[in-house]
Amino acid sequence: MDKLAINGGQPIRNAMLPYGQQWIDGDDISAVIATLESSFITQGPAIQKFEQAIADYVGAQYAVAFCNGTAALHGACFAAGISTGDEVITTPLTFLASSNAVLYQGGVPIFADIDENTYNISPNEVEKKITNKTKAIIAVDFTGQPVEIDRITSLARKHNLVVIQDAAHSLGAEYKGVKVGSTADMTMFSFHPVKHITTGEGGIITTDSKAYYDRLVLFRSHGMTKDDGIMTKNDGPWYYEMHELGYNYRMTDLQASLGVSQMSKLHDFIEKRRTIAMQYNEAFSGMEGIITPFQHADTNSSWHLYVLKFKLDRCSVGRRELFDALRAENIGVHVHYIPVYLQPYYQNLGYPSGLCPNAENYYDNAITLPLFPKMTDQDVRDVILAVKKVYAAYYF
């Protein structure tokens, strides 16, 4: 048996492989340079082009770009009318932004536990958490696998709730053959460099509702309007009115032009992610101590993350040691995510530990493997070899 790098053996690779990374080519760079040389570097024509490209791709009527995905979620909470004391049901197994956006509006995040197979929020748990204060549901497509949006939507209809889909992981994914982005009242995508396409920082909301669209556009830019149909009067060409307390959450044209260029590659990026995920599935499916990602039959994931769950009762060490051993082999493994309510800030708000047992169990046993389109065949082989090496050393 090969000696583990953590015990002084030869690592599987010489340089650290990150868990995620952007893919920027010469034509992406040219697109940004062209914008830099144009008259507008912000609030120019690239924004509408990018919004249109995303709306067309996901099959939504409208798209509103923001400076990042978190600002976009904040905008969605504003547009949904979340305000002081309103309850919003969401998953604990997500990045902080999903529930922080509720807090920004004075709302109260209510955490519903995950399904132990898909790791997505469980519609049954959502139903149990609905009260007369519930205003919305923020559902996250964890790892790129869409949530059971039809069950969530039917609960929402019954109780008059707004459905916001946090699709930061699931651009290009499908639920029952329909692309994510047209299946909720509002859907958020992020363009952080580890996501499917990047604008450096960036986010967007897609929606079919003109009313939400109008509120999102107001919110993104100081709550300001120059629309004669809305203004109370018009003093002249310089005149504008502020109708809501908005923010400066605008995306620049530099970012949007990168986004337009990246969109032409999205199809290939997703195909590459799916191919790597299938290679991992094949490599790990016969290993008794490892649980590969379960895929619901109604979904076609776009594979933002690939997570292995380890059955630690068959292992001589804990998750931390497995993680450290893989890092020592220069595999940039990660853990997504710490259940949000376990964060000190949320604990201070009074959320108890043990609130969502499935999410906590997941967190104690999971490791995210590297997965991004620019990975070479050798990179994929290195990850597989490293997992098998560490498994052979610690499993019995």
> Which region, judged by CB under 6 A, interacts with ligand PLP, from 67-75, 230-238, 255-263, 314-322?
67-75
Question: Considering only residues 135, 169, 215, 272, which one is a binding residue for ligand PLP as defined by CB under 6 A?
Answer: 169
Residue among 374, 380, 376 at smallest CA distance from 280: 380
> Which region, judged by CB under 6 A, interacts with ligand PLP, from 66-74, 85-93, 148-156, 235-243?
66-74
Residue 207 contacts ligand PLP per CB under 6 A: no
Encode the chain in three state secondary structure.
CCCCHHHCCCCCCCCCECCCCCCCCHHHHHHHHHHHCCCCCECCHHHHHHHHHHHHHHCCCEEEEECCHHHHHHHHHHHCCCCCCCEEEECCCCCCHHHHHHHHCCCEEEECCECCCCCCECHHHHHHHCCCCEEEEEEECHHHCCCCHHHHHHHHHHHCCEEEEECCCCCCCEECCEECCCCCCEEEEECCCCCCCCCCCCEEEEECCHHHHHHHHHHHECCEECCCCCCCCCCCCCCCEECCCCCECCCEHHHHHHHHHHHCCHHHHHHHHHHHHHHHHHHHCCCCCEECCCCCCCEECCCCCEEEEECHHHECCCHHHHHHHHHHCCECCECCCCCHHHCHHHHHCCCCCCCCHHHHHHHHHEEEECCCCCCCHHHHHHHHHHHHHHHHHHEC
Tell me, yes or no, if 135 is annotated catalytic: no
> Which region, judged by CB under 6 A, interacts with ligand PLP, from 9-17, 113-121, 161-169, 213-221?
161-169
CB 144 within 8 A of CB 118: no
Question: Considering only residues 20, 75, 92, 203, which one is a binding residue for ligand PLP as defined by CB under 6 A?
Answer: 203
Residue 196 contacts ligand PLP per CB under 6 A: no
Q: State the nearest-atom distance from the C-beta of 71 to ligand PLP, in Å.
A: 7
Residue 164 contacts ligand PLP per CB under 6 A: no
CB 167 within 8 A of CB 187: yes
Question: Considering only residues 166, 185, 253, 360, which one is a binding residue for ligand PLP as defined by CB under 6 A?
Answer: 166
Question: Considering only residues 19, 62, 95, 249, which one is a binding residue for ligand PLP as defined by CB under 6 A?
Answer: 95
Residue 300 contacts ligand PLP per CB under 6 A: no
Residue 382 contacts ligand PLP per CB under 6 A: no
Question: Considering only residues 55, 65, 139, 140, which one is a binding residue for ligand PLP as defined by CB under 6 A?
Answer: 140
Q: State the nearest-atom distance from the C-beta of 201 to ligand PLP, in Å.
A: 6
Residue 69 contacts ligand PLP per CB under 6 A: yes
Residue 68 contacts ligand PLP per CB under 6 A: yes
Question: Considering only residues 190, 207, 261, 299, which one is a binding residue for ligand PLP as defined by CB under 6 A?
Answer: 190
Question: Considering only residues 192, 196, 220, 265, which one is a binding residue for ligand PLP as defined by CB under 6 A?
Answer: 192
Residues 312-331 that bind ligand PLP (CB under 6 A): none
In the complex with ligand PLP, which residue's Cβ is closer, 203 or 370? 203
Distance CA 270, CA 262 (A): 12
In the complex with ligand PLP, which residue's Cβ is closer, 140 or 256? 140
Name the catalytic one among 179, 195, 272, 389. Answer: 195
In the complex with ligand PLP, which residue's Cβ is closer, 170 or 225? 170
Residues with active-site annotation: 195
- Residues binding ligand PLP (CB under 6 A): 68-70, 94-95, 97-98, 140, 166, 168-169, 190, 192, 203
